[in-house]
Amino acid sequence: MSRYCMADIERLPVGDSKELLVRRHTGARKVVSTRLARALATCCKFDSIEQHALRLARSGTSAGEGQDAVGIVSGLILDGILVSEAEIVSLARKAVTEHPEAGAPIRSINFVTRDRVECFRRTAETYGENIRRFGREARMAVFDDSRDVATRAQYRRAVEEIQQKHGIPTQYVGVEEKNKLLQRLVGEGGVPEAIVRFALFGDAAAGGTWGANRNAFLLHTAGEVALSVDDDVPCRVATAPERKPGLRLSSEHDPCEYWFYPTRDQAIEGLRFEERDILSIHEELLGKRLAACIAENSSIQWDDSADIVALALNAEHARVLVTVSGLSGDNALTFPRWLTLQGASRERLVKDAAGYRSAFTSREGVRVVDRSTITSGSLCIAACMGFDLRSVVPPFLPAGRASDGVFGYMIRHIASHSLLGHVPHMLLHAPPESRSYPDRILQKDAASVRLCDVVTEIVAACLVNLPSADVPSRMRSLGYQLKTIAELEIHSFAARIRLEHYRQAGRALTQYQWLLQSAVDIPDYWVNDIAEYTETLRAALSSDTYICPIDFSNRESGIEILGRVRELIRSFGDLLEWWPVMFSVGMNYTQCDR
513-529 confidence digits (pLDDT tens): 998 888 888 899 999 99
Beta-bridged to residue 258, according to DSSP, are 367
Contacts of 98 (CB under 8 A, 6+ apart): none
Estimate to the nearest angstrom the gap between the alpha carbon of 130 and the chain centroid. Answer: 26
Per-residue model confidence (pLDDT) at position 60: 74
Q: How far apart are the first and last CA of the chain?
A: 53
What are the b/e assignments for 272-291, b being 16+ CB within 10 Å?
eeeebbbbebbbbbbbbbbb
Mean pLDDT of 475-497: 96
Question: What is the pLDDT averaged over residues 382-390?
Answer: 96
The rounded mean pLDDT for the chain is: 92
Q: How far is CA 504 from CA 378, 386, 450, in A?
A: 16, 29, 13
More confident residue, 312 or 153: 153
544 falls in which pLDDT band (50, 70, 90)?
confident
Asked if residue 592 has pLDDT above 70, the reply is: no
User: Is 417 in contact with 310 (CB distance < 8 Å)?
Assistant: no
Instruction: Return the pLDDT at 590.
Output: 61
pLDDT of residue 118: 96
Residues 6+ positions from 48 with CB-CB distance below 8 Å? 1, 2, 3, 4
Mean pLDDT on 546-573: 90
pLDDT score, position 304: 66
pLDDT at 585: 95
Q: 3-class DSSP state for residue 301? A: strand
Give the SS3 label for residue 210.
helix
- Other C-beta atoms closer than 10 Å to the C-beta of 201 total 21
401 DSSP 8-state letter: S
**Is the pLDDT at 176 greater than 70, yes or no?**
yes
Displacement of CA 587 from its chain's centroid (Å): 24
Please report which confidence band the pLDDT of residue 64 belongs to, taking 50, 70 and 90 as the band edges: low
Is the per-residue pLDDT at 379 higher than 70? yes
Q: What gap in Å lies between CA 576 and CA 571, rounded to an integer?
A: 9
Residue 274 DSSP SS3: strand
Does this model's pTM top 0.75? My answer is yes
DSSP annotation of 377: S
Residue type, 348: R
Which of the residue ranges 165-174, 313-322, 565-574 would you say has the lowest mean pLDDT? 313-322
Integer Cα distance of 413 and 393 in angstroms: 11
Check residue 224 and give its pLDDT: 96
Neighbouring-strand partners of residue 111 = 142, 229
User: CA 372, CA 369: separation in Å to the nearest integer?
Assistant: 7
pLDDT > 80? residue 314? no
In one-letter notation, the amino acid at residue 540 is: A
The counts of H helices and E strands in the chain are 22, 19
Q: Which residues contact 122 (CB under 8 A, 6 or more apart)?
A: 234
How buried is 565 (Cβ within 10 angstroms: 0-12 exposed, 13-18 middle, 19+ buried)?
buried
Residue 478 in this model has a pLDDT that exceeds 90: yes
Residue 7 and residue 307: Cα distance in Å, rounded?
10
